Structure 1
Amino acid sequence: MRIIRIYYPFELSTDSYVTLTDDATNHLANVLRAKTGQAVVLFNGDGNEYSAQLSEVAKRKVVAHVDSKISISIESPLSIHLGQGISRGDRMEWVIQKSIELGVTEITPLITERCGVKLGKERWSKKHEQWQKLAIAACEQCGRNVLPILHAPSSFADWVNLSTNQVRLTLHPRADKAFRHVPMPPAGARLLIGPEGGFSEQEIYQTEQNGFQTIQLGPRVLRTETAAIAAISALQAIHGDL
């Protein structure tokens, strides 16, 4: 039976007792029906795993006893910062989940001209909290002990204007360069993916003015969620750990 992995957002130390978060408590006690004495793995983003046993399981409180710390890193040697144009429905959630499984280091949801999601500041904040929970769940599932940085939604213009030592890449089916022809600096890659309707002409101009190279993944036009995952996979296969 696979041991359950749980994120704990505070300091962890061996031979200590910790009360798990409300979300973890609900998942363990009410969804998985975990029992006292069950083995779990905790992580808090410091790069380590902590083996533990559940010492108390109740509907609204779960306590774990931390046994030992294990240094395990499955992080990719390639740093990828994904700038993803926000799309409607579950496409954005799908991209966040799968890109984390594939090892991205940072994700910034981008509000573009053709963004199909129109929210106020407070609702964007709640959406970010929802995406953060999804990111944690993805790390729990795939075994990562370091949480990727999930930035708050940003305007397209602000993000493309940011200074970086990473190579700047965006996709275009008629580009004349493939991923394998891109030299990769030590800082890694900044990957820009458009929303469902693509970028406007003004946005394309902005990428060109800020040093983004157009890269192709073949002659076909990919859906936004397909493009993100295919591009990350290509980068990891050529420069990372796939």
Structure 2
Amino acid sequence: MPGHRFYAPLENFTAESVCLPDDEAHHARQVLRVQVGETVSVFDGCGRVFQATVAEVSKRRVRLTLGPALPVTGESPLALTLGVALLKSDKFEWVIQKAVELGVTCIIPLTTRHVEPSVLRGASERLERWRRIGREATKQCGRSHLTAIASPHGLADVLTMPGVKFFFTERQGVDWSMAVNRVGPCPAAVVALVGPEGGWSESEQALAEAHNAVCLKLGPRILRAETAAILAVGLLQSAFGDFVVNHHDT
């Protein structure tokens, strides 16, 4: 199998070769110190993965010659969107990294009633950094598709998206097994909604109920928002995605 793994956007590809984007080229040249003739792999974030050979390493660029297509790996059959309230920078970046590793299709930062004002300020300016963290996590975990990371949205916008909505709350809600039974056969798309450190407001809870979201609790303990987000994703992948759980094992 090829050694180092790189990402390049679709527009950098030709029929026979690809030039790595600046950050990837710098990493390949200065950190990994790749050599001409070395075998690597490269993916375009849209589902294509290739074996490749390093053809050029210079100050201007790192160019790879494309080889055979490789199998697409690491993608869940479940279209899973995580709508998570904005958190302090380090916590939100951790959620992005782990959600990508767990196979989330799309991450939507939520601007909710109890998000701290200091967290809201400058959120849109951090979008490129969040996407870079997502790309690095995709490379690390072996996925073939980049997780889309949207600009911040309000809860009402996300509640109108296609898919079954799971609204994780500390207030009124059913337990996990009841929630899964209520949904029935595996849905094609699921949206997980997780609130901020201060929890959902009463109006946000009512809004979710009005949109027929499945309101549920995550056990008997109070969880940090970042813990709740990752637990929610893991549960949904176990119930409807590619985390296979054999309930007949003893």
Question: After TM superposition, is the score higher than 0.5?
Answer: yes
Amino acid in structure 1 at the alignment position of 2:215: T
CA–CA distance in structure 2, aligned partners of residues 218 and 186 of structure 1: 23
Contact 1:171 1:214 in 2 (8 A): yes
Which aligned pairs between 1:5-16 and structure 2 lie closer than 5 A?
5-11=5-11, 12=13, 16=16
Q: Give the aligned partner of residue 36 of structure 1.
A: 36
Decide which moves more: 63-72 or 218-227. Answer: 63-72
Question: Secondary structure at the residue paired with 1:35?
Answer: coil
After superposition, what is the alpha-carbon deviation per residue over 1:32-83, rounded to whole angstroms, capped at 9, x for unaligned? 2222222221111231211111122234421111112123243111221110
Aligned residues: 236
- Quick one: percent identity of the two aligned structures? 38
Q: Give the aligned partner of residue 199 of structure 2.
A: 198
Contact 1:85 1:194 in 2 (8 A): yes
Q: Give the aligned partner of residue 4 of structure 1.
A: 4
CA–CA distance in structure 2, aligned partners of residues 189 and 112 of structure 1: 20
Q: Give the aligned partner of residue 154 of structure 1.
A: 153
Which aligned pairs between 1:41-60 and structure 2 lie closer than 5 A?
41-60=41-60
After superposition, what is the alpha-carbon deviation per residue over 1:92-115, rounded to whole angstroms, capped at 9, x for unaligned? 111111111111111111111221
Amino acid in structure 1 at the alignment position of 2:127: H
CA–CA distance in structure 1, aligned partners of residues 184 and 147 of structure 2: 24
- Using the size of structure 2 for normalisation, the TM-score is 0.86
Which aligned pairs between 1:188-227 and structure 2 lie closer than 5 A?
188-227=189-228
Decide which moves more: 180-189 or 91-100. Answer: 180-189
Q: Give the aligned partner of residue 132 of structure 1.
A: 131
Residue 176 of structure 2 is aligned with which of 171, 175, 178?
A: 178
Question: Secondary structure at the residue paired with 1:71?
Answer: coil
| Structure 1, unaligned runs of 5 or more | none
Q: Which has the higher strand share?
A: 1
Contact 1:48 1:73 in 2 (8 A): no
Q: Give the aligned partner of residue 72 of structure 2.
A: 72
Q: Is the counterpart of residue 86 in structure 1 residue 86 in structure 2?
A: yes
Decide which moves more: 138-147 or 210-219. Answer: 210-219
Q: Give the aligned partner of residue 166 of structure 2.
A: 169
Distance 1:60 1:126, change over 3 A: farther
Question: Secondary structure at the residue paired with 2:52?
Answer: strand
Distance 1:168 1:184, change over 3 A: farther
Q: Give the aligned partner of residue 99 of structure 1.
A: 99
Q: Give the aligned partner of residue 228 of structure 1.
A: 229
Q: Give the aligned partner of residue 24 of structure 1.
A: 24
Decide which moves more: 129-138 or 69-78. Answer: 69-78
Amino acid in structure 2 at the alignment position of 1:150: I
Amino acid in structure 2 at the alignment position of 1:178: W
Contact 1:76 1:241 in 2 (8 A): yes
Contact 1:35 1:54 in 2 (8 A): yes
User: CA RMSD, aligned part only?
Assistant: 2.0
| Structure 2, unaligned runs of 5 or more | 244-250
1:191 positional shift: 0.6
- Using the size of structure 1 for normalisation, the TM-score is 0.89
Decide which moves more: 64-73 or 89-98. Answer: 64-73
Q: Give the aligned partner of residue 120 of structure 2.
A: 118
